[in-house]
Amino acid sequence: MAAARGGPLEGLAWLGREPEARASIAYRLIRLLVRFLCFGILRFQIVNAGREHVPANGGYLLAAGAHRGWMDSFVVMHALPVEPRCWILGSGPSTFTSRWREWLVKRVGGLLPVWRGGIGIDQHVASARAVVANGAVFVQMPEGTVSGPPGRLGPMRTGWAIIALRIDAPILPLAMAGTEELYLGKRMASQILPVTSVRALAGLPRAAGLPKPGSREELDLARTMTDSLAAMLGPVVEALQPGTLDPVGRPRRLRHRLTWLLLRPGRLDRRA
């Protein structure tokens, strides 16, 4: 689909408008429909903790892990209030499997797409800056893939931290578990951690200046921030995982269909 339009359009270039913080009527209706399908029809269960840490207003970045499936975006939205709404930096190829889905996502909003082998990080920095400036929530999943092991973090990329360094907005960490496979009645969990900052994750004083974009120092600080975030989220993900597991003998109806419902089919064994 990217080739059909002459190349990958990412972030604001694809959206074609400012990312709004207010929840439109269309967004609220889609959200209600998704909640009915997930909790009423599919009987999913999501236990959330730490909502007291959510800032009263928007204008912050949210970094979530472990990223294991298409349900992760809905787990994030379930943990946050309807407004200010969130905008998720996510995979274009995984989401836009048909033209009608791309049209719907653009109309309703909520996704700022990334195409593998895209054109750099600047457009995502611009997206994050616009989201934060408009009082909304910019969501990133630093692992960047759903193929990691269940119940613990996989390797985390540093792109999220470079965006955070250049935006310098508050950071809300969120841990998730139980989304690696889905079936009727599946249990999932999330926990919101206290708000942190670029300087706290980088081990810098509160008043410290930030490095020049594109510098070696920026890359080094991005790695430090990523390691710090992993140290925060990792133990929480591992603590949440046991509460999402069902006995081995419990029926897992529609397991394959639901696990890959909004993803390109792959393997269910994710021990690697």
pTM (predicted TM-score): 0.92
CA 218 to chain centre: 23
CA distance 165 to 209: 10
**169 inside domain:** yes
Tell me the residue range of the domain where 34 lies: 3-259
Are 68 and 179 a contacting pair, CB within 8 Å?
yes
Checking if the pLDDT of 93 tops 80, the result is no
**25 inside domain:** yes
- Average pLDDT value for residue range 44-61: 97
**267 inside domain:** no
**What pLDDT shows up at residue 272?**
45
- Average pLDDT value for residue range 94-110: 82
**What pLDDT shows up at residue 6?**
45
**What pLDDT shows up at residue 99?**
83
Are 171 and 55 a contacting pair, CB within 8 Å?
no
**265 inside domain:** no
Checking if the pLDDT of 2 tops 70, the result is no
**What pLDDT shows up at residue 64?**
98
**270 inside domain:** no
**What pLDDT shows up at residue 147?**
82
Are 75 and 179 a contacting pair, CB within 8 Å?
yes
**What pLDDT shows up at residue 7?**
57
**16 inside domain:** yes
Count of the separate structural domains present in the chain: 1
**What pLDDT shows up at residue 4?**
52
Cβ contacts of 262 within 8 Å, gap of 6 or more: 70, 94, 95
**266 inside domain:** no
The CATH number of the domain holding residue 199 is: 3.40.1130
**What pLDDT shows up at residue 266?**
62
Percent of all residues in the chain with a pLDDT value above 90, rounded to a whole number: 77
**What pLDDT shows up at residue 230?**
98
**34 inside domain:** yes
Average pLDDT of the chain to the nearest whole number: 91
